Amino acid sequence: MASVSLQKGLLAAGVCAAMFAATASAQDIQAQRLYAQSLAATCANCHGTNGVSAPGATMPVINQLTSSAMYEQLQAYKTGARTGTIMHQLAKGYTDEQLKIIADVLGKKN
Ligand code: HEC
């Protein structure tokens, strides 16, 4: 009898832990999305929201690049392989992981 109630207790604890884990991971995903969107938003002043510049703007439109092509260009700016007026300076301010996240958000998906 005691062992049955112990089992029930353990089962309930397990269900609670699973529910807590599910909630925590949903929050983690939301926090990760917010982080990714915030990083990508740092490009919007010049390249427009989601990489689409305003009509007539002289800034390059960047969202025609695939995510991997964009990441390559950002790395080229960061390492100095590609120069520009501003991008080679900006790219140095981000970690490789952050550049990857930004390129994933702003780049074309296929
Ligand atoms: C202060 C304005 C400014 C900001 C902010 C900015 N860029 Fe740029 N970006 C430029 C300019 C200007 C160029 C053209 C190259 C140059 O002169 O540096 C460019 C070029 C690029 C290119 C090359 C486009 C191509 O056709 O090859 C990519 C990719 C790019 N930017 C991505 C980004 C990303 C991602 C961010 C955010 C981390 C960002 N830029 C933030 C101004 C900006």
The CATH number of the domain holding residue 70 is 1.10.760.10
How far is the C-alpha of 14 from the C-alpha of 9, rounded, in Å?
9
Plot region of 50 (φ>0 → left; ψ -120 to 50 → alpha; else → beta)? left
More confident: 86 or 1: 86
Structurally, the chain folds into a number of domains equal to: 1
Measured by CA distance, the residue closest to atom 31 of ligand 1 is 87
Query: Contact at 8 Å (CB) between 87 and 77?
Result: yes
**What's the pLDDT tens digit per position in 53-102?**
888 889 999 999 999 999 999 999 999 999 999 999 999 999 999 999 99
Quote the pLDDT of residue 62.
96
Distances (CA, A) of 73 to 24, 55, 65, 76, 90: 35, 23, 9, 5, 12
Q: Does the beta carbon of 73 lie inside 6 Å of ligand 1?
A: yes
Q: Does the beta carbon of 68 lie inside 6 Å of ligand 1?
A: no
Across all residues in the chain, what is the average pLDDT?
Answer: 88
CA proximity to 101, closest of 61, 71, 66 = 71
The best mutation among 35, 62, 92 to test binding of ligand 1, ranked by most ligand atoms within 8 Å of the C-beta, falls on 62
30 alpha carbon to ligand 1 midpoint, in Å? 27
Query: Contact at 8 Å (CB) between 106 and 43?
Result: yes
Q: Does the beta carbon of 14 lie inside 6 Å of ligand 1?
A: no
Residue 35: give the domain boundaries: 2-106
